[in-house]
Amino acid sequence: MKKILLFLALGLNLYAGIAEGDKAPDFTLKTLDGKKSQSLHSLKGNVVLLNLWASWCKGCKKEIPEFFELQKSYKQGFKIITVSVDDTAIKSQNFLNSVEKKTTIKTPFITLHDTEKNVAKAYQCAAMPSSYLIDKEGVIKQIIVGSLNADDIKQLKIEINKLK
């Protein structure tokens, strides 16, 4: 019996995933247009909301427009960085273009593309969308699985302001 419990305990630790309080894994990816590279590390000193999404994801489609308004409300000290796991960047860009038309706001945050899903693997992403609130020192303060609505964004702003 002890061997079974030990095995279960070890197994749970192996699959526990990334947790609040962990250092956010760094990465460097190309922007959706493929013209620039962006690393998470280069944003150190800012509070960062890292969002993993895809254009086929219903929850992502609901929350991405909320991020337009959220980023627009912060001039400094807070950055949203979105990582699309779509198989082609054009799918992601087409979706963002449609949001731009509806909101009349040019995409105000950093949009990256990860066809290999390396960031999702590094963050052991459980579902789409998933978001990670990261403090100025690069520590994960909050993990949010599922889409955020306007009320969730209000609560998130409180947390962002505490970290700024």
- Number of structural domains in the chain: 1
Residues 54, 52: Cα–Cα separation, whole Å: 7
Give the per-residue pLDDT at 11: 41
CB 157 within 8 A of CB 69: no
> Does residue 123 sit within a domain?
yes
Answer whether residue 7 is part of any domain: no
**pLDDT tens digits for 90-142?**
999 999 999 999 999 999 999 999 999 999 999 999 899 999 999 999 999 99
Please check whether residue 159 lies inside any domain of the structure.
Answer: yes
Give the C-alpha separation, 51 to 111, whole Å: 10
- Residue 134 sits in a domain whose CATH number is 3.40.30.10
Evaluate whether residue 138 is within a structural domain.
yes
Task: Say if 3 falls within a structural domain.
Answer: no
5 part of a folded domain? no
Report pLDDT digits (tens) over 24-54: 999 999 999 999 999 999 999 999 999 999 9
Structural domain range at position 84? 19-163
Distance CA 16, CA 155 (A): 26
Residue 9 lies in a domain: no
**For residue 125, is it within any domain?**
yes
pLDDT beyond 70 at 60: yes
Residue 138 burial class via C-beta count within 10 angstroms: exposed 0-12, middle 13-18, buried 19 and up: middle
